[in-house]
Amino acid sequence: MAPRSSSLKKASIVLFAVIAMAAGFWLASTLKTPESENLQQIQGLVLKHARQIAVPELIKHDGRPFTNDDLNGKWTLMFFGYTHCPDVCPMTMNVLAEAKKKAAGNFPQVVMVSVDPQRDSAAILADYVHYFDPEFTGVTGDEKMIQALTLQMSVMYMKMPGASENENDYLVDHSSSVMLINPKGQLAAFLKAPHTPGSINDSVNKIVRK
């Protein structure tokens, strides 16, 4: 059983890499050529044409529906992660919380969408996001609805087997980018890791003011 499990794991990793590479080539063709020195200096990628997002049927950490209305009329920083994440997620959420504290002026709303709906209930997400900031929003829902959103956002994620045979013992490999969504509910930019409070605020300010 062990060799077969190892082979399946390796095949999954190879498949993930191939899909990620294909997505990378597609994404490169949609990126905006910087028109100013400001955009050339951001730590991320700005889309040539902002991409309209159609939010599928999802719920917020308080049990209410998460819809396009939650994105309209304000800038949003959206991160895809999960509460059992050992490193990238807590680090990124902490950076976003620190960036908000240090921001000079209005800071975008922060939304964390779970890529692990099997374990991340609304209540668990509520405790998690509020640990970093009481105004942060957690979003979860049916696996297919999560996938429908990640596909629109060019976000890759995949379950990776854990050390034991327990079905709940697994990790989720996922993108570390933070997405910037404009007040029209359109994906405007990808902010790339490594993130710092300064890089987040600098990039957001330059894109918002462009």
Token pair listed for 40: 């050339």
pLDDT of residue 91 exceeding 90, the answer is yes
- Tell me the C-alpha distance between 10 and 142, whole Å: 27
**The predicted structure's pLDDT at residue 105:** 79
Question: Residue 159 is encoded by which pair of tokens?
Answer: 């379950």
d(CA 82, CA 71): 21
Q: What is the CATH number of domain 2-209?
A: 3.40.30.10
For 156-193, b where at least 16 C-beta lie within 10 A, e where not — what string?
bbeeeeeeeeeeeebbbebbbbbbbbbeebbbbbbbbb
Residue 58's DSSP bridge partners are 66
Q: How far apart are CA 193 and CA 45, in angstroms?
A: 11
Residue 164's pLDDT band (cuts 50, 70, 90): low
Predicted confidence band of residue 20 (pLDDT cuts 50, 70, 90)? very low
pLDDT at 165: 67
Return the domain boundaries, the chain: 2-209
Question: Rounded CA gap, 136 and 128, in Å?
Answer: 10
Measured CA to CA in angstroms, residue 102 lies from 98, 105, 197, 202 at distances of 6, 9, 7, 11
